[in-house]
């Protein structure tokens, strides 16, 4: 049987943790990044950067690089790569596993308004106005460009599309803590927080801070993923699945 050689579709902390687990166990692993962030946090082991050219390109790459299994550890909101990877792994005849952290869920003290997509979040803000803390990420900022509200926009890299007329950009990268998030919400007199339901610990403090201050949160639900795929929620579970 071929030696295991795992392709991790990455760009998340879970992907880096899994690369570390596999590398530590002496298993051949290569991580793929889309190349969206200027200075990405890199995993251990070999890394390739850039799109594959769709499903067929990814299937070819899997074959050409003797990949024996694909772990899709991309972000829950990376909606195109996941169906591509499912189809490509199938076409290449290798197993596919989805590693995605659990979604956040509201507690009794949270004031959440759940919306199905970014456009609906923008529509809701248009109705409310006020002072918005926007944390949906660089790629989604332009959806809010025409909204008549004031925005504190927190991003890792500067957005390249149009921006709302009234805004302040805050360049930073998590993890964030409760004290820092409370201070930010107070300093900017934020009325409403907007977030994707990304899940995980790195950025959850904003939700705790909003809860403590009674600030409502517009939460964009995760996009649907292909039915019938095998899913795990932790790097260790993914490691166990591909090595078991
Ligand atoms: P996307 O819409 O699902 O993917 C768009 C295209 O980018 C894919 O069709 C693929 O190009 C390429 N691509 C995506 N992930 C790739 C990977 N890991 N390796 C190689 N190519 C990849 O994804 P996105 O929302 O633009 O996100 C891009 C990356 O950023 C993902 O890897 C994701 O894990 C990370 N990320 C995304 C978010 C988010 O909110 N969307 C947040 C944090 C991190 P081809 O079709 O040419 O193969």
CATH of the domain at 68: 3.40.50.720
- On whether both 61 and 119 belong to a single domain, the answer is no
State whether 55 and 122 are in the same domain: no
Would you say the CB of residue 31 lies under 6 angstroms from ligand 1?
no
Question: Residue whose CA is closest, atom 14 of ligand 1?
Answer: 34
Pairing relation of β-strands 112-115 and 217-220? Answer: parallel
Q: Is the CB of 175 under 6 A from ligand 1?
A: no
Q: Are residues 90 and 152 in the same domain?
A: no
Q: CA 200, CA 15: separation in Å to the nearest integer?
A: 13
> 211 and 120 share a domain?
yes
For the segment 229-241, the average pLDDT, to the nearest whole number, is 98
Q: Which residues of 62-95 are buried (b: 16+ CB within 10 A; e: fewer)?
A: beeeebbbbbbbbbbbbeebbbbbbbbbeebebe
Residue 46 pLDDT > 70: yes
3 Cβ contact partners less than 8 Å away, ≥ 6 residues apart: 28, 68
Tell me, yes or no, whether 194 and 213 share the same domain: yes
Same domain, 58 and 116: no
Q: What is the pTM for the complete model shown?
A: 0.94
Tell me which residue range forms the domain holding 166. 112-220
User: Does residue 139 belong to any structural domain of this protein?
Assistant: yes
Please tell me whether residue 125 adopts helix, strand or coil conformation: helix
Residue spans of beta strands (DSSP E) within the chain: 5-9, 28-33, 47-49, 69-72, 96-99, 112-115, 131-134, 150-155, 167-171, 192-196, 217-220, 231-232
Same-domain pairing of 150 and 232: no
The residue whose CA is least distant from atom 24 of ligand 1 is: 78
Whether 22 is in a domain gets the answer yes
151 occurs within a structural domain: yes
Task: Say if 105 falls within a structural domain.
Answer: no
Taking the C-alpha atoms of residue 208 and residue 47, their distance in angstroms, rounded to an integer, is 35
Number of domains in the chain: 2
Residues 124, 210 share a domain: yes
58 with 126, same domain: the answer is no
Q: Which residues contact 226 (CB under 8 A, 6 or more apart)?
A: 82, 83, 86
Confidence check: pLDDT of 24 > 80: yes
* Residue 143, in any domain of the structure: yes
CA of 190 relative to ligand 1 center, distance in Å = 30
Judged against a pLDDT cut of 90, whether residue 126 lies above it is answered with yes
Distance CA 36, CA 122 (A): 23
What is the per-residue pLDDT for 243?
95
User: For ligand 1, is residue 74 a contact (CB within 6 Å)?
Assistant: yes
Give 69-93 pLDDT, tens digit per residue: 999 999 999 999 999 999 999 999 9
DSSP H or E segment with residue 102: none
- Closest C-alpha to ligand 1, atom 25: 78
In this structure, the answer to whether residues 41 and 86 fall within a common structural domain is: yes
- Do 124 and 176 share a structural domain? yes
Instruction: Kindly report the protein residue whose alpha carbon is nearest to atom 36 of ligand 1.
Output: 75
pLDDT of 37 strictly over 90: no
Per the domain annotation, does 106 fall within a domain? Answer: no
Shared-domain flag, residues 213 and 117: yes
Q: Residue 1: which pLDDT band, with cuts at 50, 70 and 90?
A: low
């Amino acid at each position: 049987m071929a030696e295991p050689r795992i392709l991790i579709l990455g760009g998340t902390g879970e992907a880096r943790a899994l690369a570390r687990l596999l590398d530590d166990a002496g298993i051949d692993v290569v991580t793929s990044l889309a190349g969206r962030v200027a200075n990405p946090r890199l995993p251990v082991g070999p890394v390739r950067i850039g799109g594959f050219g769709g499903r067929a390109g990814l299937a070819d790459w899997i074959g050409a690089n003797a990949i024996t299994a694909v772990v899709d550890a991309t972000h829950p909101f990376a909606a195109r790569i996941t169906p591509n990877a499912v189809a490509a792994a199938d076409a290449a005849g290798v197993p596919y596993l989805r590693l995605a952290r659990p979604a956040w869920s509201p507690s009794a003290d949270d004031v959440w308004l759940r919306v199905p997509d970014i456009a609906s979040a923008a529509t809701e803000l248009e109705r409310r106005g006020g002072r918005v803390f926007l944390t949906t990420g660089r790629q989604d900022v332009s959806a809010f460009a025409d909204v008549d509200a004031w925005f504190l926009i927190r991003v890792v890299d500067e957005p390249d599309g149009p921006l709302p007329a009234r805004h302040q950009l805050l360049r930073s990268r998590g993890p964030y803590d409760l004290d820092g998030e409370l201070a930010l919400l107070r300093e900017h007199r934020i009325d409403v927080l907007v977030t994707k339901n990304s899940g995980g610990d790195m950025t959850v403090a904003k939700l705790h801070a909003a809860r403590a201050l009674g600030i409502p949160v517009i939460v964009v639900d995760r996009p649907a993923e292909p039915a019938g795929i095998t899913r795990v929620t932790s790097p260790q579970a993914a490691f166990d699945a591909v090595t078991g």
